[in-house]
Amino acid sequence: MTIKTKSGEASIHKTVLLNEAIEGLNLSNHPVVVDATFGGGGHSLEIYKRFPNVKIIAIDQDEGVWERSKTKLKDCKISFHNANFRNLEKVLNEENLKAFDGIIFDLGLSSDQLSPPAGGSGRGFSFLKDEPLLMTMKESLDPGDVTAHDVVNSWSEKNLADIIYGYGEEKFARRIAKGIMETRVVGEIKTTFDLVKIIERAVPAVYKRGRIHFATRTFQAIRIAVNDELGALAEGLKKGFKFLKNGGRMSVITFHSLEDRIVKRFFKEKEKEGEAKLINKKVILASESEVKSNPRSRSAKLRILEKI
């Protein structure tokens, strides 16, 4: 899918497991659907194509995504909310809605956030661009919002090691945390490249020749901490299920093991309590052809739950 930005530049984001996630919702005519992670608008656009009478409630923390996508969806009955999906109840109150037929969560970063057409995001998500250390999903920050700059310049060594290991599953977390502490004594850590250099010095040479970039896990961990992504996911799943109609379905696409673990546990709990049934007993993965055309889909996992 290609969506034009305000400046006429095209979105580079490719929606992963698009057909599987939408077909899994098992929608009928005149559905009400929540696109909890609007992103590039891929799911919303495809749902509209298949169900022209749909009402879509789109949610995203990044207010810029709507500006880049609204032209494509001008004929669709869609309402965009610049919010975190953990605030779903508030969004539904604003819409005067009590329930909906389906909800989609497509977690993680979009390609546009990592590297939009004009270059970097400006928020420090990518270790390949030299940008300010923000890593916030929100484009416009409030005074109390935590940034990656706050994390690396003020959090304790133990907290840094714990989040880098816990959220990034980084085996050299202690060495990296120590390197951050030693660097900030000398001067402020301001940019992504400042952080990359610290990680590069902290890890062994052989690690730098590994399959994934040596900064990947640390950047992931700090981003998750900054945005409280796992806490938001647990809350969003709970609220999404609460307002889902009986017979309605929830499709959740995850990109790393920590997210998938939370989703898997939540789905199994609901099944055990007799409130839901699993639509796919085994996790749905991207096809070989999709992985070939979009390597990012390699780590994607789709789970679908029906409320009963």
Contact indicator for 169, 199 with CB cutoff of 8 Å: no
Report whether 101 belongs to an annotated binding site: no
Is residue 168 marked as binding? no
Looking from the CA of 285 toward its CB, the CA atoms found within 13 Å total 9
Q: Could you tell me the two tokens for 111?
A: 């390609």
145 labeled part of a ligand binding site:
no
Exposure of 157 in the CB half-sphere (CA atoms within 13 A): 12
- Pair type for strands 244-254 and 301-307: antiparallel
| 43 labeled binding residue | yes
41 labeled binding residue: yes
Please tell me whether 60 is known to bind a ligand.
yes
Read out DSSP for 280-307? -SS-EE--HHHHHH-GGGGG-EEEEEEE
8 carries a ligand binding annotation? no
* Binding site, annotated residues: 41-43, 60, 85, 106, 113
Which residue ranges are tagged as binding site for S-adenosyl-L-methionine? 41-43, 60, 85, 106, 113
